[in-house]
Chains A and B, each alone.
Chain A
Amino acid sequence: MSPRYVSGKVLGSLGTLAFVIVFNFFLFRVVEGNPVATLFRGRNLTDAQRAAMRHQFGLDGSKLDQFWHYLVQLAHLNLGRSYETNATVLSEIGAAAWPTIWLVGISTLLSTVIGVAIGIVAAWRRGSVRDHALTSFTMTTYAMPDFWLGMLLLIVFSVLLGWFPIGGISDPTSNTTGIALLADQAYHMVLPCLTLTVAYLGEYAIVMRSSLLDTMREDYLTLARAKGLRDVLVRRRHAVPNALLPVVTLIAINFGFVLSGAIAVESIFSWPGLGHATYAAIRAPDLPMLQGLFLVFSASVIFFNLLADLAYAYLDPRVRTS
């Protein structure tokens, strides 16, 4: 991979990030209205108090002054304070990030492994009963909205059967630590994780299947068979790695989106992650928090796009060496 390729991609990503920062700022200034009035509705405030509040939230001065102020604070990683909790947005986001990273990380891992495996089996025996069954299944899950699936699982396994907790990340009534706490958290994660896994594996299966079907038409597979390779080896060495290339990109790009896209699922299962925080911030409305979350989500999408580009270049010598 040439340094020029890498630096080009990194610069491109930074440019996108800069655009997002500008856009993000003005977006919230457009929708804002008067947060001080919203927050202290029904209370008597003196003008001096009102001005102090405006100053505290950085809402005094012209839009341009505010923008400059915002950039300076951003450079110091200061995303402001939450209207709701008065804690810094950065600490709020930091606290909510880990549950999301675990949830999304594990479900992405599961959905890619299962999805890709389904895609391979379906494509290799195209038109067979197994292919039809698997493709119908993945099409169904692909078409299913994740929040709907989440509610269905919640109703069946938590409400009716009582096998899994209704929501949250751990049992609030116990104060276990260490392994026991971890086990409790894993237990709480089962349903949201299952929801995200099933909701996303369909896409990977469908993409992998069609990618592999394309690859199977390639002449180099005929050559591999002519060389006397077993079917399994033709598939493992030549067909699957090449068919995986587009899927790897999809996985990386999706990962960035899923971090932000788990809003519905986290809300349903009261999973205290970024999605849940977003939902809460919208309801409040907690504008500094939302602004910070938007920034983190955009940055993660941009970052994983970059990662996808670099991974593709690493895996495909045609990109790497040219």
Chain B
Amino acid sequence: MSTPLLLDVRDLHVTYPSGGGVPAVRGVSFQLERGETLGVAGESGCGKSTLAGALLRLLPPGTEVSGEVLLDGENVLTMREDRLRAVRWTELAVVFQGALHTLNPVKRVGWQIEEAITTHERGIPRSELRGRVAELLETVGIPGRRAVDYPHQLSGGQRQRVLIALALACSPHLLIADEPTTALDVMVQAQVLRLLEDLQRDLGLAVVFITHDLSTLAAVCRRLLVMYAGRVVEDGPSDEVFGSPKHPYTAALAAAFPIIGDARFRMAPSGLPGDPPDPRHLPSGCTFHPRCSVARPECASRAVELWPAGEGRRAACVQVLDEVPT
């Protein structure tokens, strides 16, 4: 018998209760194997952070979530409270965006890491606990003595590393890194990413990276999902998705992050016109058609789905139907 997939998300829908229901995620499905890396890309408001919250049921009360989130074959969405608490952080941990407010400002960072450990393991001697916290901090390149510091005494990059150490505290199998590098300067971003890559390789972790920065994802992840207006619009091996996008939205995202030194990006600043659609009033047909540079008349009415678009690739654009003979 094959072991179940580490993560199997099936037809996930998330609707926020405000203003008569805001559909933030509309039917997202994807799978993740052990040790695999997956990137989720999209503009702010496309539902990618909501997706992260839904995986551990961390969304505000009143939010409607349907579909299935199978973690090691167990559905997180229907789990009992005590089982859910046990799964949180031991199976799946989240590296939150560490800008400023993710760590409790009035608790020492070491204490905040200890808390994660003691929540799941009882009766650990104090000295051992201290040792483990120091070890975790050393793993992410922070001297163990900084455990007694408060978050405001650390730099932005250090705080982000603390969040990573915190996420590793209970040796989870899966990390969700939700915009782990925003609000950090470019040098520090690169360090944090390299750290996550190393950890992923050394510990055999599966990692889901969530960010709007497609070029980062292409460098770090094996597979890529591109989300637009709460749906996956393209899915495939990351270098192929980034290198030769099948969906015009992916193409626009890729062009927004030029490769330094690549002649193709020279003198050709490109961006995507318009704003992401309001989830309450989504455009008809393909939700991307009002901003699409290659839209056809049929796009305003024709429903799109993820069609096969070559080896291991799928895209939700009518263009791919032209290429692939059916």
**Residues of A near any B CB (own CB < 8 A):** 218-220, 222-230, 233, 237-238, 241-242, 245, 315-318, 321-322
Whether A222 contacts B150 by the Cβ 8 Å rule is no
Contact indicator per residue, chain B 84-125, by CB within 8 Å of chain A (1) or not (0)? 011111100110110001111111000000011001100000
**Residues of B near any A CB (own CB < 8 A):** 53, 56, 58, 85-90, 93-94, 96-97, 101-107, 115-116, 119-120, 150, 152-153, 166
Alpha-carbon gap, A231 to B104, bound state (A): 16
Q: Given A230-B85, A321-B153, A322-B152, are A224 and B120 also a contact pair (CB < 8 Å)?
A: no
- Given A222-B53, A228-B116, A315-B106, list of 13 further CB < 8 A pairs? A219-B101, A220-B105, A223-B103, A223-B166, A224-B115, A226-B89, A230-B85, A237-B115, A238-B104, A242-B105, A317-B150, A318-B150, A318-B152
Alpha-carbon gap, A153 to B187, bound state (A): 68
Alpha-carbon gap, A315 to B107, bound state (A): 11
**Which of A220, A222, A227 has the most B CB atoms < 10 Å from its CB?**
A227
Instruction: With CB as the reference atom, state the residue of chain A lying closest to B104.
Output: A220
Alpha-carbon gap, A317 to B152, bound state (A): 9
Q: Given A317-B150, A318-B152, A321-B153, are A227 and B119 also a contact pair (CB < 8 Å)?
A: yes
Whether B88 contacts A317 by the Cβ 8 Å rule is no
Whether A228 contacts B96 by the Cβ 8 Å rule is no
User: Nearest-CB distance from B205 to chain A (Å)?
Assistant: 16
Complex contacts, B89 vs chain A, CB 8 Å: 226-228
What are 7 inter-chain pairs, A to B, with CB distance below 8 A?
A: A218-B101, A220-B101, A223-B103, A226-B56, A228-B85, A228-B88, A228-B116
User: Nearest-CB distance from A287 to chain B (Å)?
Assistant: 48
User: Nearest-CB distance from B82 to chain A (Å)?
Assistant: 9
Alpha-carbon gap, A222 to B95, bound state (A): 12
Complex contacts, A233 vs chain B, CB 8 Å: 119
Complex contacts, B53 vs chain A, CB 8 Å: 222
- How many pairs of residues, A versus B, come closer than 8 Å at their CB atoms? 72
Alpha-carbon gap, A241 to B53, bound state (A): 25
Complex contacts, B94 vs chain A, CB 8 Å: 223, 226
Complex contacts, A238 vs chain B, CB 8 Å: 104, 107
Whether B88 contacts A226 by the Cβ 8 Å rule is yes
Q: Given A220-B101, A242-B106, A318-B105, are A226 and B152 also a contact pair (CB < 8 Å)?
A: no
Complex contacts, A237 vs chain B, CB 8 Å: 115
Whether A224 contacts B150 by the Cβ 8 Å rule is no
User: Nearest-CB distance from A209 to chain B (Å)?
Assistant: 18
Q: Which of B90, B97, B104, B153 contacts A228 (CB 8 A)?
A: B90
**Which of B56, B101, B103, B153 has the most A CB atoms < 10 Å from its CB?**
B101
User: Nearest-CB distance from A317 to chain B (Å)?
Assistant: 4
Instruction: With CB as the reference atom, state the residue of chain A lying closest to B163.
Output: A223
Q: Which of B106, B115, B166 contacts A241 (CB 8 A)?
A: B106
Instruction: With CB as the reference atom, state the residue of chain A lying closest to B100.
Output: A219
Whether A219 contacts B96 by the Cβ 8 Å rule is yes
Alpha-carbon gap, A192 to B45, bound state (A): 56
Alpha-carbon gap, A220 to B56, bound state (A): 15
Q: Given A241-B106, A318-B106, A318-B152, are A228 and B120 also a contact pair (CB < 8 Å)?
A: yes
Instruction: With CB as the reference atom, state the residue of chain B lying closest to A233.
Output: B119
Complex contacts, B56 vs chain A, CB 8 Å: 226
Whether B115 contacts A229 by the Cβ 8 Å rule is yes
Whether A220 contacts B102 by the Cβ 8 Å rule is yes
Alpha-carbon gap, A246 to B166, bound state (A): 29
Whether B106 contacts A222 by the Cβ 8 Å rule is no
User: Nearest-CB distance from B241 to chain A (Å)?
Assistant: 29
Instruction: With CB as the reference atom, state the residue of chain B lying closest to A237.
Output: B115
Whether B58 contacts A242 by the Cβ 8 Å rule is no
Complex contacts, A315 vs chain B, CB 8 Å: 106
Alpha-carbon gap, A15 to B58, bound state (A): 51
Whether B104 contacts A242 by the Cβ 8 Å rule is yes
Whether A226 contacts B101 by the Cβ 8 Å rule is no
Complex contacts, A225 vs chain B, CB 8 Å: 58, 88
Whether B103 contacts A227 by the Cβ 8 Å rule is no
Alpha-carbon gap, A237 to B115, bound state (A): 10
Alpha-carbon gap, A79 to B35, bound state (A): 80
Alpha-carbon gap, A167 to B89, bound state (A): 61
Alpha-carbon gap, A208 to B127, bound state (A): 37
User: Nearest-CB distance from B81 to chain A (Å)?
Assistant: 9
Q: Which of B97, B105, B115, B150 contacts A227 (CB 8 A)?
A: B115
Alpha-carbon gap, A316 to B94, bound state (A): 27
User: Nearest-CB distance from B9 to chain A (Å)?
Assistant: 18
Alpha-carbon gap, A203 to B115, bound state (A): 34
Instruction: With CB as the reference atom, state the residue of chain A lying closest to B115.
Output: A227
Q: Given A318-B150, A321-B153, A322-B152, are A226 and B58 also a contact pair (CB < 8 Å)?
A: yes
User: Nearest-CB distance from A297 to chain B (Å)?
Assistant: 33
Complex contacts, A222 vs chain B, CB 8 Å: 53, 58, 96
Alpha-carbon gap, A318 to B100, bound state (A): 13
User: Nearest-CB distance from B161 to chain A (Å)?
Assistant: 15
User: Nearest-CB distance from A245 to chain B (Å)?
Assistant: 8
Instruction: With CB as the reference atom, state the residue of chain A lying closest to B62.
Output: A127
Whether B102 contacts A223 by the Cβ 8 Å rule is yes
Instruction: With CB as the reference atom, state the residue of chain B lying closest to A230.
Output: B85
Alpha-carbon gap, A219 to B93, bound state (A): 15
Complex contacts, B153 vs chain A, CB 8 Å: 321
Alpha-carbon gap, A318 to B85, bound state (A): 31
Q: Given A222-B58, A317-B150, are A229 and B103 also a contact pair (CB < 8 Å)?
A: no
User: Nearest-CB distance from B1 to chain A (Å)?
Assistant: 29
Whether A229 contacts B85 by the Cβ 8 Å rule is yes
Complex contacts, B58 vs chain A, CB 8 Å: 222, 225-226
Nearest 9 A-B pairs (CB), nearest first?
Answer: A228-B88, A220-B104, A317-B150, A228-B85, A227-B116, A219-B101, A219-B102, A228-B89, A227-B89
User: Nearest-CB distance from B6 to chain A (Å)?
Assistant: 18
User: Nearest-CB distance from A26 to chain B (Å)?
Assistant: 45
User: Nearest-CB distance from B93 to chain A (Å)?
Assistant: 7
Instruction: With CB as the reference atom, state the residue of chain B lying closest to A320.
Output: B150
